[in-house]
Amino acid sequence: MNSLRTYDIKYLKGIGPRRAELLKKELGISTGYDLVRHFPTHYLDRSKIYTIRELNDEMPYVQLRGRFVSFNTIGEGTKMRLVGLFSDGTATMEVVWFRRIRPIRESLTVGTEYVLFGKPSSYMGIKQMSHPEIDLPSSAMAQQPVRGVYPLTERLRNANITSRQFSAWIATLLASRKTIVDPLPQSVIAENKLMPLGEALAEIHNPTDSERLSRAKLRLKFDELIYIQVDMLRRSMRRKNISIGHKLTRVGEVFNRFYKECLPFDLTGAQKRVIKEIRADVNTGRQMNRLVQGDVGSGKTLVALMCMLLAVDNGLQACLMAPTEILATQHFETISSMLGSLGVRVALLTGSTGKRERQSIHEGLRDGTLSILIGTHAVIEDTVQFKQLGFVVIDEQHRFGVAQRAKLWAKNEISPHVLVMTATPIPRTLAMTVYGDLDVSVIDELPPGRKPVETLLRYDEQRAQVYRAVYGQLRLGRQVYIVYPLIEENEKLDLRSLEEGYQIICDTFKDYKVAFVHGRMKPSEKDYQMNLFASHQADILVATTVIEVGVNVPNASVMIIENAERFGLSQLHQLRGRVGRGADQSYCILMSKHQIAKTTRQRLELMTQTSDGFLIAEADMQMRGPGDIEGTMQSGIPFELHIANLATDGQIIQMARRAAEHLIDKDPTLSLPENSLFARELAAASSGIRDWSRIS
Ligand code: ADP
Ligand code: MG
């Protein structure tokens, strides 16, 4: 593989300097390695011949067999085009060329039988195909039946670079090497029955049959994934060996008094277990990096608080970062009131903290009299200096940027322990990859006495009935959330529908007070409105997804989600988690228009059937593809994925994880001779990448 990395593709037959330049500019391909890693996005079956009569615009690339009846040049100058009338006996269509008109016209004759390959379209009711690939039947038959389709850009197409050329170039390149050196250790190849690398590359670009093609894909995906797994395992090993952390050995007065005097309920079994796991971890003298996953309402905040108290008992400071001001404020309020008269000084720092207050916070942090700081990303500004920061909690981590988190470390001689809490359950295999170097704790139990939220799917025409039910709840003194989507591309329109919705709700529920929150509001206004609801001065909260994370109003018993079909499952699950926090039966009503795609209906129906966050996250990934989850996650891994898909390749991830564990067990430093090629390849693949273990 290494020689491919240094091979300049301009020397490859059929490419040359000009095209090489273009390929580099358009696709970033400059070496043989880049070229063989430019994989087809899908494949076309060229064994089937379609008829012109059956064509429609929806069809992908198709193959036709027939004859040209005539050719005409139409228009002038840059508008000039060549139109050939093509017939296969079932119907006639136009074949259109906008470029290279002369040579094309000269290469084709009326009456000769050709095989055309292209994407059908239509123009004013006339079937068309532009710039198809054209072969004589004999040579069309000689080609492989299954062909790869490569991602190309407009510029490449204009330069007459086609998918077919890609497969040809790669075939030439691979044929010119006697062997492709396979960097995977033989033991890994044998144990996992993998196709050799050279064979897999040849097959993926020029498939011979579907069974071999799927083995080739498996091999190449496995490659990408095992590098990640080995890398993650080694990072976590290195961290455990080197990274020095504060040793929190003492369980002292603050922790014990809190436990005995302040805690209004018993911890759940899962909370106890996770606290134990964390305590064991912070006792080792190494820095802890732990992810706590727990479904909405599982009581993560309390776990975080008790850990912070542990730090305080050991003479250190702690800090909790939340993604929004609302959330930070709420954490501050809950935590301050829980701590009561314990004598631990807690402060809130957000973007809207006043200057005087800010100054006093800064002082308290520097002289160590302030023990716990709660806030938004304001807490990681450069001006914020701790005397001795020992424990950091990052709540709802998926909203925090990587760079923001990294900033925390820079400030301290000894890195603080880090606890990342997420309520978006991450499917196991994905967590294995993206957080492969973190230790994971799971709070898999809800506090007792919670009634599961009853979830209903209702259509727009049932609105009156839904509002009647809402009335019923309001009369019982409960509160109601009504959530509207706010999606960026459509922001104006959505904002209007939100404001209209608000008006309708005000008109419908005249006897009740309605609060109103959306992301475009000033923070102070947002807080004011949120407070109206939290303090029960308002009965209904009309909002966008700003309330998605964390907000806690136990008296709210109804969550209505408008246009539920526009939300992802994990998001719906988060929203639903806002109710069912008190002792009363709660309801989540998913409103949707009647006309929705079958898969959308299935998604919404799944929500009505389960409240298992992990199951929902898994289903969300399967149905939507990696989507949001992967978007943030992909940026979390130090390798580019060309073919493996974190959402759908769960089994291969597991396979790669096991293989990586075997490999590292036997050769932790990858210094055995049989692993040296692999080690080099790993270094090359991850070069220039930041040290992820320092980031989360
Ligand atoms: P999340 O995991 O979603 O952040 P929270 O920490 O906000 O959950 O907890 C949800 C609610 O459950 C809070 O009102 C909290 O006080 C309560 N709670 C937490 N732990 C327990 C427990 N062991 N028993 C009863 N209620 C609890
Ligand atoms: Mg929370």
Supply the DSSP string of 580-610, one letter for each residue.
S-SSS--EEEEEE-S---HHHHHHHHHHHH-
| Residue 465, pLDDT score | 94
Among candidate residues 370, 371, 352, 351, the one with its CA nearest the CA of residue 360: 370
Distance 581 CA to ligand 1 centre (A): 8
| Residue 626, pLDDT score | 47
296 Cβ inside 6 Å of ligand 1: yes
Tell which one of 263, 272, 301 to mutate to probe ligand 1, the residue whose CB is within 8 A of the most ligand atoms. 301
C-alpha 454/C-alpha 643 separation (Å) is 40
Give the total residue count for the chain: 696
Ligand 1, atom nearest to 296 Cα: 3
* Residue range 271-294, pLDDT digits in tens: 999 999 999 999 988 888 888 988
At 103, the amino acid letter reads P
Cα–Cα distances in angstroms (integers) from residue 581 to residues 266, 304, 475, 479, 576, in the given order: 16, 19, 19, 12, 10
Distance 35 CA to ligand 1 centre (A): 53
* Residue range 420-448, pLDDT digits in tens: 888 766 777 777 776 666 788 889 888 88
C-alpha 403/C-alpha 405 separation (Å) is 5
SS3 assignment, position 139: helix
259 Cβ inside 6 Å of ligand 1: no
Residue 472 contacts residue 480 (beta carbons within 8 Å):
no
With a cut of 70, list the residues of the chain below it in pLDDT: 1-2, 178, 239, 242, 396-412, 424-425, 434-437, 486-494, 546-550, 623-639, 686-696
Distance of CA 52 to the CA centre of its chain: 42
Cα–Cα distances in angstroms (integers) from residue 428 to residues 235, 290, 374, 648, 650, in the given order: 19, 15, 30, 12, 8
Protein residues near ligand 2, an ion, with CB under 5 A: 550
294 Cβ inside 6 Å of ligand 1: yes
**Burial classification of residue 591, based on how many CB atoms lie within 10 Å of its CB (0-12 exposed, 13-18 middle, 19 or more buried):** buried
- Taken in order of first residue, the domains within the chain and their CATH numbers are 2-41+173-210 (no CATH), 47-143 (2.40.50.140), 253-443 (3.40.50.300), 454-610 (3.40.50.300)
580 Cβ inside 6 Å of ligand 1: no
| Residue 627, pLDDT score | 46
| Residue 399, pLDDT score | 53
Among all bound ligands, the one having the nearest atom to the CA of 296 is 1
271 Cβ inside 6 Å of ligand 1: yes
299 Cβ inside 6 Å of ligand 1: yes
| Residue 402, pLDDT score | 46
268 Cβ inside 6 Å of ligand 1: yes
Give the number of other CB atoms < 10 A from CB of residue 83: 17
Tell which one of 259, 267, 302 to mutate to probe ligand 1, the residue whose CB is within 8 A of the most ligand atoms. 302
Distance 331 CA to ligand 1 centre (A): 12
Q: On the CB side of 626, how many CA atoms lie within 13 Å of its CA?
A: 17
> Which residues in 111-225 belong to E strands, given as ranges?
113-118, 120-123, 126-130, 133-135, 146-149
At 333, the amino acid letter reads E
Distance 301 CA to ligand 2 centre (A): 6
